Structure 1
Amino acid sequence: MQIVKYLKQYRIPFSGLAAGQHNFEFEIDDKFFDCYEHSLVKKGKLTANVELQKQENMLVVHFDIKGTIQLTCDICLSDFDSPQAFNERTLVKFTEEDWENSTEEVLVLSTKDYELDIANLLYEFINVRVPYYTKCTEQGVNISCDPEMLAKISREEPENESEEEEKKMDPRWDILKSIKNN
């Protein structure tokens, strides 16, 4: 229940707004990401400036999101802050019918709805920005991988593990190998 209460602050009550442009600002922090169990981002500090253009039968919503998210380097496993700055746009259409076919860019609401919940939109916009492969030197600013961890990773391992395994193998298998080779 606490999650629902926290996410209520990411709702825009548009029913009482006059036609035209309206601006809103939302802070996104660790508590926001805690509300989503499977979020790729667990920590971050971002600001979402939302410009809502209200028209007679639709809303045009522009998002300007800036800040940092915490990522984990896939090479050295260090946590680092990755700067983010991006823009998104969503169209909100209204219909009398029960309509469940929203798309990525068009969100469909009932004419009876009076507020727009942008929490899930913000969550998706931010999580889509997480790269498949994270590296301190690529997504971070003026940082490099942890030298201690890189030293541990680069320690020499046996050159050919399969040769070592063959030496340790039971000699009775050699007889079966000779049958196989015939």
Structure 2
Amino acid sequence: MKQLKQYRIPFSGLNAGKHKFEFDIDKKFFDCFEHSIVKDGKLKANVALQKQENLLIVNFDIQGDIKLTCDVCLSEFDAPTSMKERIIVKFTADDWQEETDEVIVLTKSDHELDIADLLYEYINLAVPFFAKCKKQGNKLQCDPEMLARLSTEPEAEEPEETTIDPRWEALRNIKNN
């Protein structure tokens, strides 16, 4: 997990006010998450952090391309992705465990904010439910060879005449009564 150390923001030495950070997200980032939907991509995360006395307001602007597999033709394609998110980080001296999706709670002794998990969640939530290279790709069309294979129907086999045991035939007649 050494790769994820670069996605930490040391806020303890920052003055009150706005600060900007930039993070590159690529295949190495996604390799750190074993069951990630996205396996590869090239994204840039611009993070604007506004530091106040007892809280941080963190705005994420993530833009770039992620590699997806088309659900129709199974080819890989680059899908442009753009998202904006916001999170609030509160500081407390108590052991307060009531975090929500929009509020993270840290103790007053914490000195850095790890945003790797947040970036991972935001990117994976941006993946469309059905990935189609025709809709999400950059002017791509589905693989015509694969579509041709999918559209051909298998040849219908002629049913073989089977001889039915007369005892089973008698049971069928009982069922129909």
TM-score range, shorter chain: over 0.9
What is the number of equivalent residue pairs in this alignment?
A: 175
Contact residue 133 and residue 141 of structure 2 kept, 8 A: yes
Aligned residue for 1:156, secondary structure, equals coil
Amino acid at match of 2:136: Q
Query: Which residue is 2:144 aligned to?
Result: 147
Deviation at 1:100, TM superposition (A): 2.4
Measured against aligned partners, the alpha-carbon deviations of 1:130-165 in whole angstroms (never above 9, x if no partner) come to 111111111111101000000000111357x9x95x
Superposition CA RMSD, Å: 1.8
Uncovered stretches (5+) of structure 1, i.e. residues with no partner = none
**Would you tell me which structure has more helix in proportion to its own residues?**
1
Query: Which residue is 1:123 aligned to?
Result: 120
Uncovered stretches (5+) of structure 2, i.e. residues with no partner = none
Change beyond 3 A, Cα 1:177–1:49 = same
Q: Percent identity?
A: 61
Deviation at 1:175, TM superposition (A): 3.8
Query: Which residue is 2:90 aligned to?
Result: 93
Deviation at 1:176, TM superposition (A): 3.2
Greater Cα shift, 6-15 or 169-178: 169-178
Which of 11, 15, 18 pairs up with 1:14? 11
Query: Which residue is 1:31 aligned to?
Result: 28
Greater Cα shift, 150-159 or 138-147: 150-159
Query: Which residue is 2:176 aligned to?
Result: 181
Aligned residue for 2:49, secondary structure, equals strand
1:69 aligns with 2:62: no
Q: Distance in 1 between matches of 2:163 and 2:149?
A: 33
Q: After TM superposition, which residue ranges in structure 1, 4 or more long, deviate above 4 angstroms?
A: 167-170
Normalising by structure 2, we get a TM-score of 0.93
Deviation at 1:110, TM superposition (A): 0.8
Normalising by structure 1, we get a TM-score of 0.90
